[in-house]
């Protein structure tokens, strides 16, 4: 993302641990290089701000995880309603003589489409209403940062955003909130390995949706200020629904259970007593990694591309694995740490772009893990 910014003529300077100073006073280019766009799904997020700033943007289709069809129609519809023209011909070309506020109803609660619409609308003429907007914590971060830069946004945290366009934004200093998907991954890691962990710097309200899912597997934690304390002693037993029926962990837009944690929960469920249904509704290829877990000894029945029934606990055995995407890759790391014997995981680029300094941090909590170069 920083490299893409720099390709536009912006400067990005590291000014401390996890701190960057970005200056985009001059935009000299509005075309995203293909080699950068294909590396990351979030490259599409430059469409909204470039339209607001320069009235044009050109980019190849974005890359990212292969977890099923990831439609971009919602982006195009939202930006078109704000006054943009979109051409799709092997690449995306966005142009706009003028962006004008309007009443938008998104056809899905897309996180990135909501973000693109917000970034375009804050500098559009007039007022914009975005209904059926996604409202995840990182969208709230974006709204709060834009407000600190001079934007006029109300409804932050809800699925209806009201934005009054402003002529200009100014700089600000902003601290990005903690990544609740990463926190959930480390909770899953501690549960699957029967360990304990303290995670500092959390935002407790962000964890309420995932707590419901973990509780179904007999997993709990306590909060001490901004620390999460996960004790070694856990029930690790599926809590059946009323009538002793099999419970379901299913994902949904915020504030539902996070889709990015269904892969993690699938691995955790292999180490829990009882049977649970994992229902991943949003992407039709995300559950296809479970065959690797079955090879390791897991008892999983893949009902269809979206549903898997997991029964446990089962002893897992080390295996040679390939990371298909960032969350399934992290799930494989957890499975490998819970398994007997040695595992080798390739394509770890997919994992490390979502979990900074992962190997060092896992070592710090007792993992036997190393990175090796394969030629």
Q: Is residue 65 flagged as an active site residue?
A: yes
Distance CA 304, CA 325 (A): 19
Report DSSP letters for 193-249, one per residue. Answer: TT--EEE-S--GGGGHHHHHHHHTTT---EEETTEEEE-S----B--PBTTTBPPEE
At 58 the three-state DSSP class reads strand
CA atoms within 13 A on the CB side of 244: 1
CA dihedral angle for residue 332, residue 333, residue 335, residue 338, rounded to 10 degrees: 170
CA atoms within 13 A on the CB side of 12: 12
Distance CA 348, CA 339 (A): 18
CA 273 to chain centre: 29
- List the catalytic residue out of 65, 250, 251, 319: 65
Do 336 and 163 contact (CB within 8 A), yes or no? no
- Radius of gyration (Cα) for the chain, nearest Å? 22
Element (H, E) at 35: helix 34-37
Distance CA 37, CA 59 (A): 7
Distance CA 288, CA 278 (A): 13
Phi, psi of 295 (to 5 degrees): -60, -30
**Residues classed as catalytic:** 65
């Amino acid at each position: 993302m920083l490299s893409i910014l720099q390709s536009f003529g912006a400067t990005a300077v590291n000014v401390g641990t996890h701190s960057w100073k970005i200056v985009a006073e001059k935009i000299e280019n509005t075309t995203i290089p293909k080699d950068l766009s294909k590396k990351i799904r979030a490259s599409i997020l430059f469409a909204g701000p470039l339209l607001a700033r320069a009235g044009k943007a050109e980019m190849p289709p974005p890359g990212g995880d292969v977890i099923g069809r990831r439609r971009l129609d919602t982006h195009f519809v939202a930006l078109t309603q704000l006054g943009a023209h979109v051409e799709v011909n092997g690449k995306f070309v966005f142009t706009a003589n003028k962006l004008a506020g309007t009443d938008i109803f998104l056809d899905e609660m897309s996180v990135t489409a909501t973000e693109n619409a917000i970034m375009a609308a804050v500098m559009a003429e007039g007022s914009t209403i975005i209904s059926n907007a996604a409202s995840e914590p990182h969208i709230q971060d974006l709204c709060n940062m834009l407000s600190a830069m001079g934007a006029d946004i109300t409804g932050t945290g809800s699925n209806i955003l009201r934005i009054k366009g402003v002529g200009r934004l100014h700089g600000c200093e902003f601290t990005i909130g903690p990544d609740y998907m990463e926190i959930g991954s480390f909770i899953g890691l501690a549960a699957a390995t029967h360990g304990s962990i303290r995670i500092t710097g959390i935002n407790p309200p962000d964890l309420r949706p995932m707590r419901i899912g973990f509780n179904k597997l007999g997993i709990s934690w306590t909060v001490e200020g901004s620390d999460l304390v996960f004790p070694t002693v856990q029930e690790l037993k599926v809590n059946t629904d009323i009538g002793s029926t099999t419970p379901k962990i299913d994902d949904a837009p915020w504030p539902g259970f996070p889709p990015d944690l269904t892969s993690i929960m699938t691995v955790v469920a292999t180490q829990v007593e009882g049977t649970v249904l994992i229902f991943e509704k949003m992407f039709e290829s995300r559950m296809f990694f479970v065959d690797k877990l079955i090879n390791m000894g897991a008892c999983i029945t893949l009902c269809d591309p979206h549903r898997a029934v997991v029964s446990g606990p089962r002893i897992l055995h080390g295996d040679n694995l390939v990371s298909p995407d960032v969350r399934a890759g992290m799930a494989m790391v957890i499975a490998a740490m819970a398994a007997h014997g040695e595992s080798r995981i390739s394509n770890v680029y997919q994992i490390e772009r979502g979990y900074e300094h992962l190997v060092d941090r896992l070592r710090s909590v007792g993992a036997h893990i190393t990175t090796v170069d394969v030629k």
